[in-house]
Each structure stands twice: as structure tokens, then as C-alpha cells.
Amino acid sequence: MALVLSVSGSPSPTSRTARLLRHLDARLTAHGHEVAPLDVRNLPPQALTGADVDHPAILEVAQQFLRADGIVIGTPVYKAAYSGLLKSLLDLLPQFALAGKTVLPLATGGTTAHVLAIDYALRPVLSSMGAGHVTQGWFVLDRHITVEQDGAVTVDPAAAGPLDQVLDQFSAALNRAAVLAPAGASAG
């Protein structure tokens, strides 16, 4: 079992990205992993905009990244890239906050014109932060995510199948990493 931090970088209070991630959290739990959700929009704005790396909330998030085996990074596509809110958090984390982590990048967007935003925009940032293994990501069109009145999330079959596949790959990568570096093993 791996510990997964599932991070939504959308500033929207009705975020489809966040809803999608919470929907996928349940799938990861069913795979046997423990999932901790994190919505960047709930962090103190003054810490994010003031580059306050010593703010207790930022220090706690840095610890959450450190403890996690796997990280799901979800972002809406804004202006052909990831959200500024996500970047404002990543900028406050240690340079190698993703060292040794297995990372699943996910994006939601309004047009397939920006389907590659994960690869040309987000993936280089994740690599620069030392991500051990960035697994296959996926881009989901916003209109393929429906939030029902009771809050339940339905994903269009066009996106649900590929999402299942990338989740399976992420889960398998987490399991392989656990075999290679059992809990409690030290790299140093």
C-alpha cells in the first residue's frame, strides 16, 4: 500500500478538476492505496502570494509531499498551461520535493487544442523537482465531467476508459516502487 497525495491546482470553488480528483481518489483507495486530498485553493492566500516558505501551512504541505510515495497533480488548463495557483504552491516547495516520488499528471480543459499542455508545460516542472517516475498523464475535456445534484461525478466513457488505464499504470508503478524500496528503507 502506498501513500498518495492528490493535489488539485484549480482556484475554482466549483472545480471540475477537484471533483475529478476526488472521484479518482476513491479508485486509488480501491487499489489499496491511502489517499490524502489537497486543494491548493484552501491554503492561506497570503502564504502563496507572499512566497512565505516558512508559513506553517506551507511547511505542513511540504511534509505531506515528503511523506507521500505518490503524487497526483491535477490542474485546469489556463492559457495553454497549468494554473498559476498550482505554480504558486510548487514554487514554495523544496527544489527536489518530488525526488523519488511516482507522479501522475492530470489536466482538464475546454479544448483538445491544449491536450499536450501536460507534456510541454507541466512535465518539465515535475522533472525539475526531481520526480522519480512521471507516469502517463491524461487530459480530460471539461464537458466530459458531469457533477450530479448529489455531488456524484460521472465521467464520459470517452475519458473514463483512458483514465482507468492511467490510474492502473500509476498504481502498478507505486507497487513496483514499494518492492524496490520497502517502507522504512533508507537511501542514504
The burial of 182, by beta-carbon neighbours within 10 Å (0-12 exposed, 13-18 middle, 19 or more buried), is given as: exposed
Q: Provide the pairing of β-strand 133-134 with 102-109.
A: parallel
Residues 71/40, Cβ–Cβ less than 8 Å: no
Pick from 2, 7, 10, 97 the residue near ligand FMN by CB under 6 A.
Answer: 10
In terms of CB distance, is 77 or 177 closer to ligand FMN? 77
Near ligand FMN by CB under 6 A: residue from 17, 88, 135, 171: 17
Q: Give the nearer residue to ligand FMN in terms of CB position, either 77 or 129.
A: 77
Q: Among residues 25, 119, 142, 164, which is the contact residue for ligand FMN, using CB under 6 A? A: 142
The residue among 18 and 159 lying less far from ligand FMN, judged by its C-beta, is: 18
Of 104 and 174, which CB lies nearer to ligand FMN in the complex structure? 104
Specify burial of residue 119 (Cβ count, 10 A radius: 0-12, 13-18, 19+): middle
Q: Which span sits near ligand FMN by CB under 6 A: 12-20, 44-52, 86-94, 146-154?
A: 12-20
Compare residues 69 and 109 and give the one whose CB is closer to ligand FMN: 109
The long-range contacts involving 185-188, CB below 8 angstroms and separated by at least 24 positions, are 187/100
41 sits near ligand FMN (criterion: CB under 6 A): no
Site for ligand FMN in 80-119 (CB under 6 A): 80, 108-111, 114
φ/ψ (deg, to 5) at 40: -60, -30
Residue of 25, 21, 164, 139 whose CA lies nearest to 82:
139
State the DSSP H helix or E strand holding residue 141, giving kind and residue range, or none if neither: strand 138-141
Which parts of this chain interact with ligand FMN (CB under 6 A)?
Answer: 10, 12, 15-18, 76-80, 108-111, 114, 142
